[in-house]
Amino acid sequence: MTEKLSRSVVQPRNPRLNVSRNANLPHVPGIRIGDYIFLSGMGPIDPQTGERNHGPITEQIRTTLRNMQHMLESAGSSLERVVRVHVVLADISDMPEMERVYREFFPIDPPARTAWSMQLRFGNGCEIECVALAT
């Protein structure tokens, strides 16, 4: 563990999904460090327009998880390599709907997960972040 771990920025192939850069926010979409990728919290951004998608919560979750998949695949990882997820909902009563959509993305051997509810910015219904193995 004495050698220095390499640290690099994770960027989406689709530049419309680089939300922090497009909004000039002081964070990056993700960081790869050693064997791990740490993604920033992601919201429901339409990959065609780069605008927020504030449809029904099931659509917001689906869009967000698709974008997360895109981000991981852009960095050579995948949903199958995710080890831990944080799901933050604006409304705690959306938990069953979230669970239903989430299951489509992690059908077998899902990652460790914590889900809770708190205030989110921009009227988003969800924000999701994860840690994945890089390769």
* Sequence-distant (≥ 6) Cβ neighbours of residue 39 within 8 angstroms: 10, 29, 30, 68, 71, 72, 129, 130, 131, 132
Candidate ranges 5-13, 38-46, 53-61, 113-121; the one touching other proteins (CB under 8 A): 113-121
Nearer residue to other proteins within complex by CB, 25 or 112: 112
* Sequence-distant (≥ 6) Cβ neighbours of residue 86 within 8 angstroms: 41, 113, 114, 115, 128, 129, 130
Nearer residue to other proteins within complex by CB, 71 or 85: 85
User: Is residue 5 involved in binding other proteins (CB under 8 A)?
Assistant: no
User: Is residue 14 involved in binding other proteins (CB under 8 A)?
Assistant: no
Sign of CA dihedral 91, 93, 99, 105: negative
Which residue of 6, 118, 121, 123 would you call a contact of other proteins, by CB under 8 A? 118
User: How many positions of this chain bind other proteins (CB under 8 A)?
Assistant: 27
Other beta carbons within 10 Å of 133: 15
Q: Which two tokens stand for residue 13?
A: 């192939």
Which residue of 16, 18, 31, 36 would you call a contact of other proteins, by CB under 8 A? 36
Q: x/- contact string, 67-106, with other proteins (CB under 8 A)?
A: -------------xx-xx-------x--x---x--xx--x
* Sequence-distant (≥ 6) Cβ neighbours of residue 48 within 8 angstroms: 16
Binding site for other proteins (CB under 8 A): 35-36, 80-81, 83-84, 92, 95, 99, 102-103, 106-107, 109-118, 131-133, 135
